[in-house]
């Protein structure tokens, strides 16, 4: 196992009626900015629950954070933050809203020239506004990690800091009942790929991490399709298991002390930046290709994955790996997400732009050993055609 430091201070308030707890989590004298997206929270009653809980608080609102939040939208929040002396952010929404709140929080107290440098130059910062979150879409893990992804002019860039990790997160599985099938599928697949990217590398004998990861993968494989099936769609236990899996997949626990390979995400970000494809749908396209192109480097873990996650124990090594990759693709198909670039109308003529963008963004040494060069990324994209 590798050395690690692990601390996750985000308090999780999980279950029905837990939105009420925000009244106690946020100090009464705070000047709160509620940040949210395009209005789904008004249709499903979440907004009303938040407003009811904050009736003793002083609060303001900033809405319109779009999926794959943009720098231009997020910077607009700075006007109200200054005018109203906001000192606390409450993000109510999915990963885009929580990620957006993180950038807003850092930009509000940024001492450098341009907050975009936090992303473009990975400039560090020493202060950020405190954040709480009411999560409405289980997928990203953003509610209890320090990561955020922001887009500007097609450049989709991540940053990370413990200063923007939410202090608390409310996870009420009932609020996910209003999600469309598309967002349910996206969320399950995103959480699945987060787990895989901290698991499918090389063996360091991290038994706890491996078995936690395998448990999360199996839970998502079992419960994900139930959230799409008419007879089990409204089952709150199904939703609860998906929600908790998604949080656990990217709260730092399973990745502590093991190698990680975020190449699927980094290549996927270019697909979203250049062509606007939903985040999770980029991952379901890229991951099977990564498994195929990196099968020698990942051989031992692919065999472990085949055996422990899919119970494939018969046949020679190559056959078992092929079956595991095929079952992964079939699981994605069940979750109604694409597995090929051609499924989203992209072809070989689009690869130059994607590889160029990877180069521009410094994504030239990806993977658990930093040996996925631009040529190998091109091979992965070619495999995904
Ligand atoms: O904007 P509203 O009206 O709220 O609608 C949203 C949005 O249109 C809707 N939605 C959310 N909750 C709903 C709902 N609709 C009905 N009922 C509900 N309960 O769903 C749509 C998509 O929301 P979004 O927040 O964009 O989805 P997601 O949670 O998948 O977040 C994706 C973003 O997170 C980033 C992605 O790159 C992408 O920008 N990621 C963040 C990570 C992190 N912070 O650790 C890691 C991830 O790998 C990912 O990169
Ligand atoms: Zn993701």
Task: Decide: 44 in ligand 1 pocket, CB within 6 A.
Answer: yes
Average pLDDT (208-230) is 98
Look at residue 82 in the predicted model and tell me its pLDDT.
97
Ligand 2 center to 250 CA (angstroms): 9
Average pLDDT over residues 359-380: 97
Are the C-beta atoms of 86 and 128 separated by less than 8 Å? no
Residues lining ligand 2 (ion), CB within 5 A? 190
Give me the pLDDT at residue 199, please: 98
Q: What is the DSSP string of 191-220?
A: HHHHHHHTTSS-----HHHHHHHHHHHHHH
**Nearest ligand to the CA atom of 278:** 1
What is the reported pLDDT for 372?
98
- Averaged pLDDT, 135-141: 98
Q: Which residues pair with 134 in a beta bridge?
A: 92, 170
pLDDT the model gives residue 154: 86
89-107 mean pLDDT: 98
Mean pLDDT across 181-202: 98
Averaged over 296-300, what is the pLDDT?
98
The answer to whether the 11-174 and 180-383 domains have the same CATH topology is no
Mean pLDDT of 174-182: 98
- The alpha carbon of 280 and the centre of ligand 2 are apart by a number of angstroms equal to 6
pLDDT > 70 fraction of the chain, expressed in percent and rounded: 100
Q: Are strands 131-135 and 31-36 parallel, antiparallel or unpaired?
A: unpaired
Where in the chain are the domains?
Answer: 11-174, 180-383
Which class is 11-174 in CATH? Answer: alpha beta
Is 142 near ligand 1, meaning CB less than 6 Å away?
yes
- Mean pLDDT (the chain) is 97
Q: Which ligand places an atom closest to the C-alpha of 276?
A: 1
Helix (H, G, I), strand (E, B) or coil at 90: strand
Encode 199-233: b = buried (16+ Cβ within 10 Å), e = exposed.
bbbeeeebeebbebbbbbbebbbebbbbbbeeeee
Residues 47-78 have pLDDT tens digits of: 999 999 999 999 999 999 999 999 999 999 99
Residue 233 φ then ψ, to 5°: -55, -40
Q: Name the architecture of domain 180-383.
A: Up-down Bundle (1.20)
State residue 235's pLDDT score.
98
The number of the ligand 1 atom at minimal distance from the alpha carbon of 145 is 45
Enter the pTM of the model: 0.98
Q: Give the pLDDT confidence score for residue 382 in this predicted structure.
A: 98
């Amino acid at each position: 196992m590798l050395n690690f430091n692990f601390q996750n201070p985000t308090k999780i308030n999980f279950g029905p009626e837990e939105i009420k707890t925000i009244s106690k989590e946020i100090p009464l004298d705070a000047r709160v900015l509620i940040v949210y997206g395009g209005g789904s929270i008004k249709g499903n009653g979440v907004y009303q629950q938040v407003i009811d809980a904050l009736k003793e608080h002083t609060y303001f609102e900033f809405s319109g954070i779009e999926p794959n939040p943009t720098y231009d939208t997020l910077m607009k929040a700075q006007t109200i933050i200054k005018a109203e002396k906001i000192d606390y952010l409450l993000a109510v929404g999915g990963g885009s809203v929580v990620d957006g709140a993180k950038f807003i929080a850092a930009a509000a107290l940024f001492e450098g020239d341009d907050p975009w440098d936090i992303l473009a130059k990975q400039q560090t910062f020493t202060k950020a506004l405190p954040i709480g979150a009411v999560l409405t879409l289980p997928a990203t893990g953003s509610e209890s990690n320090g990561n955020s992804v922001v887009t500007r002019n097609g450049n989709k860039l991540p940053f990370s800091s413990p200063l923007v990790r939410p202090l608390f997160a409310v996870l009420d599985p009932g609020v996910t009942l209003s999600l469309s099938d598309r967002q349910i599928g996206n969320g399950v697949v995103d959480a699945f790929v987060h787990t895989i990217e901290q698991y499918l590398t090389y063996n360091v004998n991290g038994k706890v991490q491996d078995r936690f990861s395998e448990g999360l993968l199996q839970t998502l494989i079992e419960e994900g399709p139930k959230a799409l099936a008419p007879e089990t769609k409204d089952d709150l236990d199904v939703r609860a298991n998906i929600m908790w899996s998604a949080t656990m997949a990217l709260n730092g626990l399973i990745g502590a002390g093991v190698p990680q390979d975020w190449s699927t995400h980094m290549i996927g970000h270019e697909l979203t930046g250049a062509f606007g494809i939903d985040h999770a749908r980029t991952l379901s396209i890229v991951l099977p290709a990564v498994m195929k192109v990196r099968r020698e480097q990942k051989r031992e873990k692919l065999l472990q994955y085949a055996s422990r996650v899919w119970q494939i124990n018969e046949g020679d090594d190559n056959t078992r790996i092929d079956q595991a990759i095929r079952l992964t693709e079939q699981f994605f198909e069940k979750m109604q997400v694409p597995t090929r670039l051609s499924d989203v109308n992209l072809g070989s003529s689009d690869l130059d732009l994607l590889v160029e963008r990877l180069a521009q963004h410094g994504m030239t040494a990806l993977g658990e050993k930093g040996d996925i060069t631009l040529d190998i990324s091109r091979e992965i994209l070619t495999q995904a055609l």
